[in-house]
């Protein structure tokens, strides 16, 4: 896997995560208080930096064969989940991901929440909403950077790709003060699901002792094979498509217990 392919794979995956985090931050800032939302974002970034600083050296100490088996397994878990949802959405069995709908739902929930000031944070709800959103999506970004970067001995390049994706989405979203609904997120999730599944299969098999014909060049056949299989499943499922609403999970207010 060359540097260009690594950069593109990490960049696309991180754009998807950044768009979802941006939607949450925009809802918190617009409906509540921008300063509190920004403090939440900054706090989450500090936690993520600490996680990356701790996990990075630990993962790099794993022997190469064990690392590839570990990374391959994790990528398959995430990749197959992404690909399953993408196939269901593309075939009409699941509604397309709608950032505008998610934003409006979160905005309405945030506007209805009571104001609670804690210390330097003027609005605890805005802080908590932004912190949790950025932290959860950011953990997936850290996972992507560590798995792709460590396995290819190119953590700096993977980090640059992730940073470029996050900065691009953040600048575009905050400048517009609106969710990036025009980003082809459903298509990107399909592509990322294919890549994660293909790379997970490739590295997992190598970690288990298998040898691919042509070494890294086997990915040039494996990625299209996974894509064709996914498209075939979409075609089959479309024949019996029964769309279901894309349920938007309501934002839980700080201190509220979910059922």
Q: Is residue 246 part of a domain?
A: no
Q: Are 41 and 128 in contact (CB under 8 A)?
A: no
pLDDT of residue 44: 94
Q: Is the pTM of this model over 0.75?
A: no
pLDDT of residue 150: 80
Q: Is residue 259 part of a domain?
A: no
Q: Is residue 245 part of a domain?
A: no
Q: Is residue 251 part of a domain?
A: no
pLDDT of residue 243: 52
Q: Is residue 12 part of a domain?
A: yes
Three-class HEC string of the chain: CCHHHHHHHHHHHHHHHHHHHHHHHHHHHHHCCHHHHHHHHHHHHHHHHHHHHHHHHHHHCCCHHHHHHHHHHHHHHHHHHHHHHHHHHHHCCCCCCCHHHHHHHHHHHHHHCCCCCECCECCHHHHHHHHHHHHHHHHHHHHHHHHHHHHCCCHHHHHHHHHHHHHHHHHHHHHHCCCCCCCCHHHHHHHHHHHHHHHHHHHHHHHCCCCCCCHHHHHHHHHHHHHHHHHHHHHHHHCCCCCCCCCCCCCCCCCCCCC
* Domain, as residue range, for 107: 3-238
| Burial of 145 (C-beta count, 10 Å sphere; 0-12/13-18/19+) | buried
Please tell me the distance from the alpha carbon of residue 238 to that of residue 242, in angstroms, as a whole number: 9
pLDDT of residue 64: 66
pLDDT of residue 228: 95
Q: Is residue 108 part of a domain?
A: yes
Domain count across the chain: 1
pLDDT of residue 24: 87
Q: Is residue 90 part of a domain?
A: yes
pLDDT of residue 252: 45
- Paired strand residues for 121: 118
Q: Is residue 86 part of a domain?
A: yes
Tell me which residue has tokens 């997120």: 185
pLDDT of residue 82: 85
Which tokens go with 70? 């570990």
pLDDT of residue 244: 52
Q: What pLDDT tens digit does each residue of the chain (259 aa) get? A: 567 778 888 898 898 888 888 888 888 888 888 899 999 999 999 999 888 888 877 776 777 667 778 888 888 888 898 899 889 888 888 877 666 777 778 778 777 777 778 877 888 888 999 999 899 889 888 888 888 888 777 888 888 999 999 999 888 877 776 666 566 777 888 888 898 898 889 888 888 888 888 877 888 899 899 999 999 999 998 887 655 555 444 444 444 433 3
Residue 148, CA distances (Å) to 126, 238, 250, 256 in order: 33, 33, 33, 37
């Amino acid at each position: 896997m060359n540097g260009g392919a690594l950069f593109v794979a990490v960049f696309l995956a991180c754009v998807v995560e950044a768009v979802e985090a941006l939607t949450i931050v925009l809802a918190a800032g617009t409906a509540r208080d921008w300063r509190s939302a920004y403090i939440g974002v900054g706090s989450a970034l500090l936690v993520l930096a600490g996680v990356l600083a701790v996990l990075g050296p630990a993962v790099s100490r794993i022997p190469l064969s064990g690392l590839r088996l570990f990374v391959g397994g994790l990528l398959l878990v995430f990749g197959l989940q992404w690909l399953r949802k993408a196939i269901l959405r593309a075939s009409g069995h699941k509604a397309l991901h709608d950032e505008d709908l998610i934003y409006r739902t979160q905005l309405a929930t945030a506007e209805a929440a009571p104001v609670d000031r804690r210390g330097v944070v003027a609005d605890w709800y805005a802080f908590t909403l932004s912190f949790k959103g950025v932290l959860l999506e950011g953990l997936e970004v850290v996972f992507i950077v560590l798995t792709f970067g460590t396995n290819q001995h190119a953590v700096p390049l993977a980090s640059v790709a992730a940073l470029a994706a996050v900065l691009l989405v953040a600048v575009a979203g905050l400048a517009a003060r609106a969710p990036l609904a025009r980003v082809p997120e459903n298509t990107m999730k399909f592509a990322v699901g294919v890549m994660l599944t293909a790379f997970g299969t490739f590295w997992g098999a190598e970690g288990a002792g298998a040898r691919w014909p042509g070494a890294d060049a086997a990915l040039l056949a494996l990625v299209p094979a996974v894509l064709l299989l996914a498209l075939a499943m979409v075609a089959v499922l479309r024949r019996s498509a029964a769309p279901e609403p894309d349920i938007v999970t309501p934002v839980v207010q700080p201190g509220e217990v979910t059922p």
